[in-house]
Chain A
Amino acid sequence: MTQPATPTRPAEPNRAAVTKSRPKTLGALHMDIRTLSLLGVLAALIVIGGITQPDSFLDGDNVQLILTQASVIGVVTVGMTFVIISGGIDLSVGAIVALASVWASTVATQEYGFVGILFTAILVGVGCGLVNGVLIAYGNIVPFIATLAMLASGRGLALQITDGKTQMITVDSVLKLGERDSYILGIPPLVLVFAAVTVIGWLVLNRTTFGRRSVAVGGNPEAARLAGIDVRRQRLYLYLLSGLCCGIAAFLLLVLAGSGQNTNGNLYELDAIAAAIIGGTLLTGGRGSIVGSVLGVLIFITIQNIFALNNLETATQQIAKGAIIVAAVLLQRRTANTTS
Chain B
Amino acid sequence: MFIENVSQELAKILHLHLDKDHLKWMEGKIDGIIEEKSSKDLYLTYSLMASKINPIPLDKMPSGENEVIQYLETQNANLLQIGRVYLLIRVLEADENFFFNKVENIIQVSDTGELETFLKFLVLMPNSGNYRNVAVEALRTNIATIFDAISLNNPYPSMFFNDQQWNQMYLKAAFMERDLSLITDIEARANKDLVRIISDYAHERWAASRKVDPYFWRPVGRFLNDTLVEDMNRLFLSEDEKDHMAAALACSISENPKAKALLEKYPQIKNKLDQGLISWSKIN
A binds B: no
Chain B contacts to A: CB under 8 angstroms: none
Chain A contacts to B: CB under 8 angstroms: none
